Structure 1
Amino acid sequence: MMEITVVRGDITTQRVDAVVNAANRAMRGGGGVDGAIHRAGGPAVLADCVARFPRGLDTGAAGWTTAGEMPARWVIHVVGPNYTAGERDRSLLLSCYTRALEVADELGASSVAFPLVSAGVYGWPKDDAIAAALETLRASATEVTEARIVAFDAATYDDVLAATRS
């Protein structure tokens, strides 16, 4: 059974098998979590994105690359819906978590660190982003033994922790 843990910190420093990147469709780096992962992982992450995803990824999809210079072995990239731009299909957000776990299983990853997909610059309401993550992680059949939700700030950490206890 998978354990869901919550930590406050920087996803790029997590000592897990894989970190999940909230990427954009182009898969060439960006802001927020995506930019942080590309900066921390170094040029190997971008080079692998270009090689593996020459046309990018669709919303709700997932794929993997090396983690480059980060302590994790892999980055699992997911493309969440952009709520601010009118992409409000919740099934696409749920798909990000489901597909990330499927990719983790394909890789043999037992520990995976997740951000709150789409909750940053893409503007998905935080309470629902937390609910979507927890619903999907709790319902998934996976070989992953630890799903770690990484909150960058104290308020988000408190919100996620409270939601895991309810």
Structure 2
Amino acid sequence: MRKAIVVLVGLVVLVIAYFVLAAFLPRWWSLRVADLATGTFHKGILWGLVFGVVCTLLPLLFFYSAWSGRKRRGAKFVAILSVVLAVVTAIPNLLTLSIVLGGSNAAHAGERTLDTEAPGFRGATATGAIVAVVIFVLLTFVLVRAGRRRATKRAARSSTLS
């Protein structure tokens, strides 16, 4: 009974926290971006590209690190740390996404703020995210291909030595 009450209270706190943050974070993030862009197109686009590329590429690299290092010693700690870092570095893009896709009053206020104080930010963030995904795919291809080549050379060397 006590455990059920604790779980219920925890769920109520999470729901309240969600609604408080949903009403606060989109406005707050749009004001932070507006401060960076200072109402100009070139700064809005520049910051959008920076956030789009960095806050997409780093999480992808952290997730790749968590996935690829699973056979090494201490892999569980590294995987957990990588996933936490991936989520933390993705927060700016997630906040921008909450403004773009959100239907709340805070999201609409954030859209208006970005439209007037950081023009070009949303589109540049999406473009930067696409560029980051392309970079990640190419980088992953190169790394996997190099690993396979090394494995093939090792196998060839060991077969000639035997």
State the TM-score bracket (shorter-chain normalisation): under 0.3
Considering fraction of residues, name the structure with more helix.
Answer: 2
Higher relative contact order (CA 8 A, sep 6+): 2
Report the TM-score when normalising by structure 1.
0.26
TM-score normalised to the size of structure 2?
0.26
Which protein is bigger by CA-based radius of gyration?
2
Larger relative strand fraction: 1
